[in-house]
Chains A and B, each alone.
Chain A
Amino acid sequence: MMMHGIVMKITEQCIIVLCEDGKFRNLPHPPVMPKLGDTIPVPDAEITIKRRRWRRLQKYGGLAAALLLLCGITALFKLIEIPAQPVALVAIDINPGFELFVDGKGKIKKAVPVNDDANWIISEQQLIGKEFYAAVRLIINKAEEQGYLGTQADKRWIWVSVVDFGQSSFDVDVNKFISGNQNYEIERFDANEQQMEQAKKAGLTLNKYMVYERAKQKGIELDVEELRSHSIASSLIRAGINPEQFFGKSSEKSSHEAKPSDDTQNVVQSVQTDTASVLPKRQSNEQIGAKKPVAEQSEKKQRVTKDSNENHSATEHVVKAQPKPAVQEMENPPPEQEKAGIRKFELSVTLDQEQEVKLVYKNKKDQIEAKVEKETAQGKERLQGEQAVQYINGVIRKLRLTEKMDKLALAERISSVLNFRKDQWKEMEVEIELSNGETLEFELKNSIRDEEETPHEEEWEEEERKKEKESSEKDDDE
């Protein structure tokens, strides 16, 4: 039998009923609303708001508890994971290079040697678990012991790139890398994961890629192949760039400029080797023979520094001070430098199908004349004045002559810079005259074409001979 109750009060939320069992109950509004004082049946199940609330509370409470538990577990996992997961990558390039993955506790989680030299000086196992700065100091000391670091210009540099993975901040203080008696130049880059990827794609270490990017920002196109196979310092020096100037450390090292040290001599020697291979043999020999005493070189360098634009790099000045700076002038020359250093640049390339490309650049008493004539399959193109100057400057810059580049290599570079196929050009004439009077002049025939053409010529000659014979025989018969 169903229990009844008297409706004692009706509110917006519920009706309050005094039931036959002596209990007040707050019941939900029924479909047909009773009047005050009505006796209504009360379900045995006692569906009270309180119970509903409790159930709702239980339901949502359970959900909330589950959510809290989930959050707690996630937080716990994170807490466990933070020290375990690497929070930063610190790439170090001396010549041996390492990629050090640092965890939240500042310890080496993973160490990746990026070249054979790195494998040689220290094993990965010796670095893992070590405190970051201790590991870096160990690398530097080992590199020093093995002669990778020293007082020479290309052995005084340590490049550091830091990639923050964003999980936790890890500050790298490069001052902690070296002890008091060590005097090395440390260049730090802040890189990101995208740059890491691009470095991998380019086959470069992160630091090399960062240097490449910085050079690009400064309008210098470094040779990726060169960077890949040489250390950063030597790649820069080979490209005619002084690392100190490049990384803006010249002011700190002003004493080096005033008094040429072993380092400058190294730069000079390196540059001389570069020029020797490209210039004609006679000139190269002269150049080596004409090597002047260090004091004289220093004087020249200072004079050039005064005369030239202040923005010119020290390396460029050093190069200018050399007796035979022909090719070095062409390596990474800024436009102003080119105008000042190259008096004449003439390039004539004969292509197949009677096509031709001519680049003429003359600098006579600061009167610059430039002319570009291109007659290719794409059509005729002619540039004059400033446009031609800019175009030729670009070509010279892109030629990027290196120490072991011979005539053939130079011809190959010219064909690539001017977008010719290897077998497209027949003949090439190059004439370069520098402001110091030195000239570089050569004519070259495309050997690939010669090989292809030679059998045809022979056949033609044979045919000619046959014809002659036949005609002479006919004459005889007559």
Chain B
Amino acid sequence: MLDNNDEVELTAGEIASSLEIYAQQESAAALAQELTLYDERLREYGIRLEELEECSPSHRDARKQLIQIAKRFCDYPEMKLYLERTKQLPLKEMMQYAGVSKKTLERNRKYLIALILIFSCDEFVHIRNTVSFSEIGE
């Protein structure tokens, strides 16, 4: 009997682990899908993922500041709508809450849009959950 219970328990463990693996695979597949979609979305804004390396600010502080600006962008649904509609950043409005110059926003436009899409779009939940900026404390 004991043997049978053990067998049952093992089987349940195996099943749990299989389910976990399945869930992971599902999640990975969903993430991959999102990433493909993300690339497509970026293209709609005239941005290619390959060029984001060049668009990333070289200074750590600048990156940190821009990540914060992108995160706070989600708090302003009207700006989000404006962006989706016009594919352009609402620079004036952003300047008010971001506390940076228009020139800085314009210069980092592509990097900002890439991050804003990750943080504000519902379709990129998996990406948002996966991405980590622990190096710069974000």
Q: Is A415 an interface residue (CB 8 A)?
A: no
Chain B residues within 8 Å of A24, by CB: 49, 52-53, 55-56, 111, 114
Alpha-carbon separation in the docked complex, A48 to B53 (Å): 9
Q: Is A18 an interface residue (CB 8 A)?
A: yes
- B126, B127, B130, B135: the one within 8 Å of A19 (CB): B135
User: Nearest chain-B residue to A21 (Cβ)?
Assistant: B135
Interface mask (A61-105 → B, CB under 8 Å = 1, otherwise 0): 000000000000000000000000000000000000000000000
B132 touches A36 (CB 8 A): no
Give the distance to chain B from A8, nearest Cβ to Cβ, in Å: 6
Known: A19-B135, A21-B135. A37 touches B53 (CB 8 A): no
Chain B residues within 8 Å of A11, by CB: 50
User: Nearest chain-B residue to A42 (Cβ)?
Assistant: B135
A-B contact count (CB 8 A): 75
Q: Is B54 an interface residue (CB 8 A)?
A: yes
Known: A23-B63, A35-B28. A9 touches B135 (CB 8 A): no
Interface mask (A7-24 → B, CB under 8 Å = 1, otherwise 0): 111010010101111111
Instruction: Tally A residues with Cβ within 8 Å of B.
Output: 25
Known: A8-B49, A22-B63. A50 touches B135 (CB 8 A): no
Within 8 A of A (CB), among B53-90: 53-56, 60, 63-64, 66-67
Known: A22-B67, A24-B53. A9 touches B35 (CB 8 A): yes
B114 touches A6 (CB 8 A): no
Alpha-carbon separation in the docked complex, A22 to B66 (Å): 9
A26 touches B50 (CB 8 A): yes
User: Nearest chain-B residue to A36 (Cβ)?
Assistant: B32
Known: A8-B35, A37-B35. A20 touches B132 (CB 8 A): yes
Interface mask (B101-117 → A, CB under 8 Å = 1, otherwise 0): 00000000001001000
Give the distance to chain B from A400, nearest Cβ to Cβ, in Å: 90
A-B contact pairs, 30 of them (CB 8 A): A4-B132, A6-B131, A8-B38, A8-B49, A9-B35, A9-B50, A11-B50, A14-B50, A19-B135, A20-B132, A20-B135, A20-B136, A21-B60, A21-B135, A21-B136, A22-B60, A22-B64, A22-B66, A22-B67, A22-B135, A23-B56, A24-B49, A24-B111, A25-B56, A26-B50, A26-B53, A36-B32, A37-B127, A48-B53, A50-B54
In the A-B complex, the 4 residue pairs with the smallest Cβ-Cβ separation, listed nearest first, are A37-B31, A24-B52, A21-B135, A22-B63
Give me the interface of A with B, judged by CB distance under 8 Å: 3-4, 6-9, 11, 14, 16, 18-26, 35-39, 48, 50
